[in-house]
Chain A
Amino acid sequence: ELKVEQNPLFLSMQEGKNYTIYCNYSTTSDRLYWYRQDPGKSLESLFVLLSNGAVKQEGRLMASLDTKARLSTLHITAAVHDLSATYFCAVGRRYNNDMRFGAGTRLTVKP
């Protein structure tokens, strides 16, 4: 059974600080996703990581994947208030199209 663990579940940051969200998963996968959800809204895709060592960056967010450790990280650089949201990682099982999500990290960036 594919399990996805995310931590921390809650994160309160000051603007300008850096932090990392971690996503561990339990079985072999060939696809790792990061999604963002704003309050009252649905989920939007941020990154897709398909291979060991993959790194994707957009703005102040950078995601990486280590398939050997079954670990992905979402690094936040110099946080700004607009990044306040809930971030989910999701893992797809190899050769299957279903996807499992972590519990989410609620990020609050304070001035």
Chain B
Amino acid sequence: DVKVTQSSRYLVKRTGEKVFLECVQDMDHENMFWYRQDPGLGLRLIYFSYDVKMKEKGDIPEGYSVSREKKERFSLILESASTNQTSMYLCASTRGGRRVSGANVLTFGAGSRLTVL
């Protein structure tokens, strides 16, 4: 019954490494999101995508990029990991497209906990 799958539950990387976090959803959702979760800060939006090859910056895009080549897959890329990117990363998806109205509840993956040494 898993609907949003994040490829890695736990990762440990070294400073400067390139990191890929993968997310796949099987609900045919148009919208996909990447958040990072830190204690006391809640969830902060990094990037989101409302269609294949489309992306928009969230509140904290610096140091991150994303890729959406297929509707079901949304990847988060850390080009050169730094220690301040140690965090829990959450992927989510929802129906809708670029402009929506009405309820569009996010379905979250289990999260990827990244530690950068």
* Given known A42-B90, A42-B111, contact A98–B45 (CB-CB < 8 A): yes
Question: What's the least CB distance linking B45 to chain A, in Å?
Answer: 6
CB B53 to nearest CB in A, in angstroms, measures: 16
Describe B's contact surface by its main secondary structure: loop
> Which residues on the B side are within 8 Å of A100 (C-beta)?
45, 59
- Mark each residue of chain A from 27 to 53: 1 if its CB lies under 8 Å from any CB of chain B, else 0: 000110101000001111100101000
**Tally of chain B residues near chain A (CB < 8 A):** 32
Shortest CB distance A67–B (Å) = 15
Taking a contact as CB atoms under 8 Å apart, the answer to whether B103 and A50 are in contact is yes
Closest A residue by C-beta to B92: A43
Question: Residues of A within 8 Å of B, CB-based: how many?
Answer: 27
Can you name 15 A-B pairs with beta carbons within 8 Å?
A: A30-B101, A41-B110, A50-B102, A50-B103, A88-B42, A97-B96, A97-B104, A98-B45, A99-B33, A100-B45, A100-B59, A101-B35, A101-B42, A101-B45, A103-B40
Residue numbers of B with Cβ under 8 A of A are 31, 33, 35, 40-45, 48, 50, 56, 58-59, 90, 92, 94, 96-106, 108-111
